[in-house]
Structure 1
């Protein structure tokens, strides 16, 4: 029962944050709301006993990619004076196409039979220890090759960046 309540709270948090992300007029605030969505999704991963995915989601998406998005948005220096003129015809077409998509999705959901609730299986498939043992026992060579490729890509990026 507790996991259902946590699931519902995380789902409401994800949906509410996604709506706020879309409704926000400031791009920085929109990115911050997207970070909240990523944290809610990580909570869902933890409920599914996939702690590694939750940690990777927080580190990679909420950490690195969102910082990159914030950096790009702040680097672009979006001001209201430089904003292009709004085309109301395009906005009308967007509202019509979005409403059509919503109607199609609602029609599809109404015709789909309701599925029976799925019981979560508790196991070790999503745990970090099991993943690490599989990674370092069965896939050592591909793991090391990928690390060398990443290292060579970083060296190449530094060389290209220092060329000027």
Structure 2
């Protein structure tokens, strides 16, 4: 239980540093560390498959894309000094509202006392059970999402080819 608190503190600190860091590269590195901390939480919840997917997909692939996007942006134009006071005020109001909603939502959560250990199943987060659940109970939504991803991929390729064709002429 003490490791959970330590991991939670690390997660919160690294997530805060993502927001507070001035350098975008440092923000991305803190975000990678946050993803690793969240993967540690998945291990504590006995969800090893989610841990592996989180590390491979989020900490690996998506962070590489974030780094490429940051390298391609003109960071001098998007510096915090170029933001108007109205933009800063709107950001503070939205952030405060989200904080109030988050606090109100967490106050209504009923955390168990740990007495429900009879309902605990050690095989909950395993890949075999996840596959059975996906292909038995959620087969139609699973297939619809795969079709949606396929259509998005084809659309991205078609848009990329059209833009490349416009540049050649």
In structure 1, distance between residues paired with 2:105 and 2:100: 10
Aligned twin of 2:23: 26
Tell me if 1:78 matches 2:75.
yes
Aligned residue-pair number: 159
Q: Report deviation, 1:110.
A: 8.5
Alignment-derived partner of residue 32 in structure 2: 35
- Which range is displaced more, 48-57 or 113-122? 113-122
Matched residues in 2 for 1:25 and 1:40: separation?
Answer: 22
Q: 1:76 to 1:138 in 2, by over 3 A?
A: same
1:46-103, Cα deviation, whole Å (9 max, x unpaired): 1111100110011001111111011111122423x67472312321343244334434
2: CA distance between counterparts of 1:103 and 1:137? 39
1:15 aligned partner: 12
Unaligned runs of 5+ in 2: none
Q: Does 1:53 align with 2:50?
A: yes
Please, what TM-score do these two structures have when normalized by structure 2? 0.68
Calculate the aligned-residue CA RMSD, in Å: 3.8
Unaligned runs of 5+ in 1: none
Change (3 A) 1:148 1:95: closer
Shift of residue 34, structure 1, vs aligned partner:
0.8
1:124 aligns with 2:123: yes
SS in structure 1 of the partner of residue 123 of structure 2: coil
